[in-house]
Amino acid sequence: MLRQRPKISRYSFLLATVDDVIMRTCHWCHVMAKESFEDQESAKILNDYFVAVKVDKEERPDIDAVYMAVCQSLTGSGGWPLTIIMTPEQIPFFAATYIPKTTKYNSVGLMELSAAVNNQWLNNRSEFLVSADKIYRHLLSQNKHQNLAGEPTTETLYLGIHQLKESYDSEYGGFHIAPKFPMAHDLLFLLEYGSIKEDYGATGMAEKTLQQMYRGGIYDHIGGGFSRYSTDRQWLIPHFEKMLYDNALLIIAYAEAYQLTGKMLYRRIAEQIIAYAVRELCDEAGGFYCGQDADSDGEEGKYYALSIDEVMEQLGTDGSKFCDWFGFTKEGNFEGKNIPNLIRNKRYEEVPEQFEELIQQIYEYRKKRVSLHTDDKILVSWNAMMVAALAKSARAFEKTEYLKLAKDTCKFIEKHLKNASGRLQKRWRSNEAAGSAQLDDYAYYTWALIEVYETCGEVDYLEQAVHCGAEMVALFWDEENDGFFLYAHDAEQLIIRPKEFYDGAIPSGNSIAAFVLHKLSRLTAENMWREYAQRQLSFMAGQMGEYPMNCCFALRVFLRTLLCSTELICTAEEITDMSAVREFIKEQRLVNVTLIIKTKKQMERLNKVVPFTSGYPIPEQGTAYYVCENDSCRPPVFRD
């Protein structure tokens, strides 16, 4: 087994890190752990030759960002588990992803690699040091390129849309051929752009993708929720781990698609995902766990795959129609068994009578048949995504229970994920908070607080959002070149201090920061927030360069800044039912609304956070609605 890291002699040790990303849920991380790290023979070699350190990417995304950049530069690609070999000064000279224990299929084995590197280190160390120095200088050079500036333009929006259309799969939805990832932020941009510009091609791409993802096996038709990605073009065979962040962002995408189109399919999918997350990922204290495993009993997908015989045994005569509906065959679609799907089902938007009961029976059988491990870490950033998703769903579906869940998760973060000085921590597990929060945590949590405020109108959440946004700026902002660093100025300093701006599986911290700065500038009308928002958008415009489709969440902010933004101030003695406010927004066909609620009870506190609202009187009866669109205000509208 890997032993504890000893004190490092500056010249005597070679330092190796293995990025143990989502170790509890990642299939190839499991494979490498079992083959090598838990194997006595290979563990002995690692411990004899290296100081071996395993790093959880979810707890230290800063370390992952630095060394993933190395892997991509050296190999042309990246992924997890990430394997880095470096000098005691933390300068890397070798990078790879999964490495088998011994050499096979033209892939060097960890045993042979370790022996060769150790031999070279002892006998020809200068070669490694020269290589490490070149890599380090390349990293520094790349880091300097993060300081370009630009201006948001409509041409950038058009180029982003064009690039998405160029890579779109018109037959099965999604982008590129395979593997396919459920990039919810791309779909949100397409939905918003298509709605504002009346570009039905853009909204059509988003809708087709949302429908096809649901029809495929990447969606768990038995238990709800989406797997990490599809290994094929049709969305049929997933990489089976389910992650909180994917599902939270997809809830938002389906909720917004429902608001745009009114199609009940999208609402049903979003509500099923929420039901899955609450049932299987929610801690009793109010936080949400990271995700669920790809493997069961050492086999990828074993928990999800079913045979016809199993279904018939559980459902009796109803088994045939169940198998027909979900595309089961005797041959199976995954290793002799079947992943339920609706790809060939033309009636997929309907739900046959009594099917919910049949699905529940299979769900209970599946749970008893084999266990599915849950990664029970609770992370601020991912929980914040879920808060935003729940708050948006509460508005879209008029469900107060979703708002309560969102508030409960905020309470969990405030209680368990802040230290004595009130600073955010990274994660909570086994009644212990640990790790310094990074940019993603602050940006996503600020977003979440804004979403809750705009759902319930309670000034507490707006106050917290302003405070969290201010801390984000104080800890991560680059005063010299703009943009946000990934880790704080007073955190452990790595060999470089990167800024992430491209959206990956989730929108980057800088994309989310652009969004929250824009929202705070609209909510407060304060010059400070307006200036930071403008500088951040200029920074993002400079980073996008010729590939704006890689920053779709930031493009949504460009869209709102350049084309369509609305502020709505509602004043009343008391507002007990926010549904009336939402009905007004719907009736007036307002889009991209920033909502401010002023009541007699909250007036003094609101005026401190949003000083300009002091000029908006509270009517003696009813509610006054003040609408401002694109920096121009209408006369107020009064309603009983």
Model pLDDT, residue 294: 80
User: Domain extents for the chain?
Assistant: 14-147, 154-294+375-562, 304-369, 566-639
Residue 146 scores a pLDDT above 80: no
Q: What is the pTM of this model?
A: 0.91
Give yes or no for a cis peptide into 636 (omega within 30° of 0).
no
- Distance between CA 456 and CA 47 in Å, rounded? 55
Determine the average pLDDT of the residues in 147-165: 92
- Distance between CA 540 and CA 552 in Å, rounded? 11
Helical residues (DSSP H) of 99-199, grouped into ranges: 110-123, 125-144, 154-167, 184-197
- Distance between CA 377 and CA 288 in Å, rounded? 8
- Distance between CA 134 and CA 118 in Å, rounded? 20
Taking residue 260's Cβ as centre, other Cβ atoms within 10 Å add up to: 17
- Distance between CA 570 and CA 567 in Å, rounded? 10
Higher pLDDT, 11 or 329: 329
Share of the chain above pLDDT 70, in %: 95
Compute the 3-state secondary structure of the chain and give helix, strand, coil in percent, each to the nearest 5: 50, 15, 35
Taking residue 179's Cβ as centre, other Cβ atoms within 10 Å add up to: 15
Exposure string of 134-147, with b = 16+ CB inside 10 Å and e = fewer, is ebbeebeeebeebe
Residues 441-460 have pLDDT tens digits of 999 999 999 999 999 999 99
Instruction: Locate 125 and state its tokens.
Output: 């160390």
Strand 299-300 relative to strand 425-429: parallel, antiparallel, unpaired?
A: unpaired
Residue 69 scores a pLDDT above 60: yes
The region of weakest confidence among 32-46, 546-560, 594-608 is: 32-46
3-state SS, residue 101 = coil
The region of weakest confidence among 108-112, 303-307, 463-467, 588-592 is: 108-112
Helical residues (DSSP H) of 228-330, grouped into ranges: 244-261, 264-280, 308-315, 319-325
Please tell me if the domain spanning 14-147 has the same topology as the one spanning 154-294+375-562: no
Assess contact for 556 and 160: CB atoms under 8 A: no
Residue 65 scores a pLDDT above 90: no
Model pLDDT, residue 100: 83
In order, the DSSP letters of 252-263 are: HHHHHHHHHH--
Assess contact for 59 and 435: CB atoms under 8 A: yes
Residue 636 scores a pLDDT above 60: yes
Higher pLDDT, 313 or 126: 313
The CATH homologous superfamily of the domain defined by 14-147 = Glutaredoxin (3.40.30.10)
Model pLDDT, residue 134: 84
Share of the chain above pLDDT 90, in %: 68
Determine the average pLDDT of the residues in 315-325: 96
Determine the average pLDDT of the residues in 272-278: 98
In order, the DSSP letters of 228-239 are: SEESSTTS-SEE
State how far Cα 461 lies from the chain centre.
Answer: 22
CATH architecture of the domain 154-294+375-562 equals Alpha/alpha barrel (1.50)
Residues 6+ away with beta carbon under 8 Å from 107: 99, 100
Residues 278-307 have pLDDT tens digits of 999 999 999 999 999 888 887 888 999 999
Q: Give the length of the chain.
A: 640
| Residue for token pair 């004595």 | 420
- Distance between CA 385 and CA 397 in Å, rounded? 18
| Residue for token pair 């779709």 | 552
